Amino acid sequence: MKYGYFDDLHREYVITQPDTPLPWINYLGCQAYFGIISNTAGGYSFYRDARLRRISRYRYNNVPMDFGGRYIYLRDDDSGEFWSPSWQPTRHELKDYSCRHGMGYSVIGSTYSGIEAHTRYFVPIDENLEIWQLTVTNHRDTKASISSFASIEFCLWDAQDDATNFQRNFNTGQVEVEDGVIYHKTEYRERRDHFAWFACSEPAAGFDTQREAFLGKYRSWDKPATVEAGQLTNSIAHGWQPIGAHQVKLELAPGESRQLVFVLGYHENPSAQKFDPPHSQTINKKLVKPTIARYLDLNNVEDAFQKLQQHWNNLLGVFQVNTPDVHTNRMVNIWNAYQCMATFNMSRSASLYESGIGRGLGFRDSNQDLLGFVHMVPTRARERILDLAATQLPTGGAYHQYQPLTKRGNNDIGGGFNDDPHWLIVGVSAYLKETGDWSILDEPVPYDNEPGSEQPLYDHLQRSFNYTLDRLGPHGLPLIGRADWNDCLNLNCFSETPGQSFQITTNKDGKVAESVFIAGLMVYSGQELAAIASRRGLHAEAEKYRGESARMEAVIREHGWDGEWFLRAYDDFGNKLGSKDCDEGKIFIESNGFCTLAGIGLEDGRAASALAAVGERLATRHGIVVQQPAYSKYYMQWGEISSYPPGYKENAGIFCHVNPWVMIGETRLGHGDLAHDYYSRINPSAREEIGDLHRCEPYVYAQMIAGKDAPSFGEAKNSWLTGTAAWNYYAIVQWILGIRTTLDGLQISPVIPTNWPGFTATRSYRGVTYQITIDRAGPGNSIALTIDGLTIEGSVVPPPTDGRKEVTVKGVLS
Ligand code: GLC
Ligand code: GLC
């Protein structure tokens, strides 16, 4: 069944039932201040880094689900009855409940006992704060006396410590309250220069800052003692659990509507100006007060919301398409692009499944995320590339992750994932194809953030590629290291100890196990790097990369081909993985997807054979699984992969991230019907009707859908933060619709379903708007292009030389 519907006109998903199968979330903020918000107002906020600068507290994996949030309560001061218009935390039966998740905002509300209330939550552009804009309307025919309470539980900044180090935490909590504004300043007295603040647009009838005073002993958020009693207690927190709570009393005539604004913000003071007066312990509020005042004014709030809307109009306006398939349109035009912003910002750090504590930004992940993001804000993509490259090690290898706040490589997961360096080439290449900004290659970038070690970015790409040349195994294939794209293929970790990390433990010398996937990736990155080198006039070097790429392709043909499909790897014993000779795990998606994406075997039938095998053995109606047969038991010599029960995650789950590699491979074979069919199987919008099975949000991709070996076949998990977002966007836009960025300009080369009569699209590219119309005259994929009425050769649209800012492209497929 469905739990809501798409409102494409407003770019919203409207949830009409609060008890969705799982919390369905949205992201607030897209620059430095971020929050996640569920359809019942659960979630939390942070500044830049979900672990190190957590602003509000959240209870992961709680009972009931999804606890800790931006909670508003209303209380009928005549009857004493109270409820939450967002359903949680009181969970009253509400009338007309809805949650509209939109681009950077969510509006949640309902009607209860004749009182309608909606809260619009959003983060204004360029500000480090969030607005809760509450509208309350009295639909009764009598006047209503309503108290509204807004509450937030503060996190003591380091989310990991906050959840564990209670012997300290229960002593450090501090607040100030001044002019009705609550300031959370734990640790401000010592080394922190930042604090949070919580303000309210109306004179408050009371506040609380101590959690127990607000909730009462042994009570939870569903029944705070103060809300029940109708009066906050003006408590000041010393230690324990600082919160912010405001109470506002409203007298509403019949039909009357009122708006209130609550604002939660984050502020950093210059360290020399922390206190006012200087030798006191009181926060200097001079610098933050103008911001507070600005957003307590409803007109400014409205302006800020309009600015946010405009921001998203601009971002999404870069590419819009109109095809015969509604699911394609709404994902490409709205939700998939939007999800790409979230993955760009968060990498894999903060979602309902990623606690924000465990992982920083991944080197491999963030580079791939650029594929779906670079067209929206190229300047931020540029900055990200330089940040990532600065964490690269002098060997060309990479820390697997870095902390967004410090921009330093984080050694928690270490390095030595031998695919990592190549993704930098992929990311930089995507940037160059989008922008034509060759200057990025000359930017001096350090290694391992070591001052003095700066080299041009181009040098980093060279080392990335050479990294693999220096690490070839017995068959001449790349050594896998700790793992390749598949984090769970840990062929150098034989672990028998429960809880031991598969990613950090290496107890083999690493000189035998090889990856056919990295080989395919290297063929691809070699071609990309060669193209970049030629464009820079480095012809000999380009030749070298082309040569290495071709040599590796030959090695794949000889040692990476299993007869009908590409092998996956050789393990530490030199045994094959992903071969017909294996008992389980006979065929894997990654090597077959990536090798065909890279164009290997297009001419000699191997690509066609490999993808036919994928279709036959791995494809299911819910998507393509990682491998078959699933591993039915634990194989110590292959690492984490078989630690998962069959059908989940890397053990034969439908890992949506890699499905697009097969889609792209199919387009390279000219199979538009199949490519789009695969695309549709995992398209969340197309799965909306099976909400009870799919369970995750129908508007964003999930990392994984349980595979056919799992009892819950078809159930999605780990929505939002996944490489699936960027890769699906890239596959549908650049390969199926075929509107592809190249170093030389925009290429138009669709491989669409045969029954599509065509489509239209608008693309802003390097300062020019391309109005594109594709018509189908025959069932094939050859295209005849006219540009502003003139026929051109080939499929790459030459950039206008006469300063035109708008170009009309017509393509006829036959
Ligand atoms: C997760 C990781 C990604 C990895 C994938 C497969 O999505 O973030 O880096 O490639 O799993 O293991
Ligand atoms: C990736 C994989 C996950 C694995 C993790 C280890 O996220 O998807 O299965 O446990 O990496 O870091």
| Predicted pLDDT at 41 | 98
> Which of 401, 417, 640 best tests ligand 2's pocket when mutated (most atoms within 8 Å of CB)?
640
* Atom of ligand 2 lying closest to residue 644 CA: 9
Parallel/antiparallel/unpaired status of strands 806-813 and 768-776: parallel
User: In Å, how far from its chain's centre is CA 153?
Assistant: 25
How far does the centroid of ligand 2 lie from the alpha carbon of residue 488, in Å? Answer: 6
Beta-carbon contacts of residue 279 (< 8 Å; ≥ 6 apart): none
Beta-carbon contacts of residue 484 (< 8 Å; ≥ 6 apart): 417, 418, 419, 515, 517, 518, 521, 569, 590
Q: What angle do CA 393, 703, 663 make, to 5 degrees?
A: 90
- As a whole number of angstroms, the distance between CA 488 and CA 413 comes to 13
- Which protein residues touch ligand 1 with a CB less than 6 Å away? 348, 362, 364-365, 485-488, 650, 657, 703, 722-723
How far does the centroid of ligand 1 lie from the alpha carbon of residue 744, in Å? Answer: 32
Report the sign of the C-alpha dihedral through residues 100, 319, 339, 660, in that order.
positive
Coil/strand/helix, residue 338:
helix
* Structure-token pair, residue 276: 């006012």
- As a whole number of angstroms, the distance between CA 779 and CA 754 comes to 5
User: Is 412 known to be catalytic?
Assistant: no
Q: In this structure, are residues 416 and 397 in contact, taking their beta carbons and an 8 Å threshold? A: yes
Residue with CA nearest ligand 2 atom 1: 487
Residue type, 810: K
> What parts of the chain have a pLDDT lower than 50?
none
Choosing from 162, 369, 487, 709, the catalytic residue is 487
Q: In this structure, are residues 741 and 765 in contact, taking their beta carbons and an 8 Å threshold? A: yes
| Predicted pLDDT at 413 | 72
| Predicted pLDDT at 415 | 79
> Which of 413, 487, 651 best tests ligand 1's pocket when mutated (most atoms within 8 Å of CB)?
487
How far does the centroid of ligand 2 lie from the alpha carbon of residue 430, in Å? Answer: 26
Parallel/antiparallel/unpaired status of strands 144-157 and 242-252: antiparallel
- Ligand sitting nearest the alpha carbon of 657: 1
> Which of 401, 412, 657, 704 best tests ligand 1's pocket when mutated (most atoms within 8 Å of CB)?
657
> Which residue in 379, 387, 375 sits closest to 336, CA to CA?
375
* Atom of ligand 2 lying closest to residue 487 CA: 11
- As a whole number of angstroms, the distance between CA 388 and CA 371 comes to 15
* Structure-token pair, residue 578: 């992903």
How far does the centroid of ligand 1 lie from the alpha carbon of residue 658, in Å? Answer: 10
> Which residue in 620, 610, 601 sits closest to 523, CA to CA?
601
- As a whole number of angstroms, the distance between CA 147 and CA 138 comes to 13
Classify burial at 139, counting beta carbons within 10 Å of its beta carbon; exposed 0-12, middle 13-18, buried 19 or more.
Answer: middle
Residue with CA nearest ligand 1 atom 7: 722
- As a whole number of angstroms, the distance between CA 506 and CA 502 comes to 8
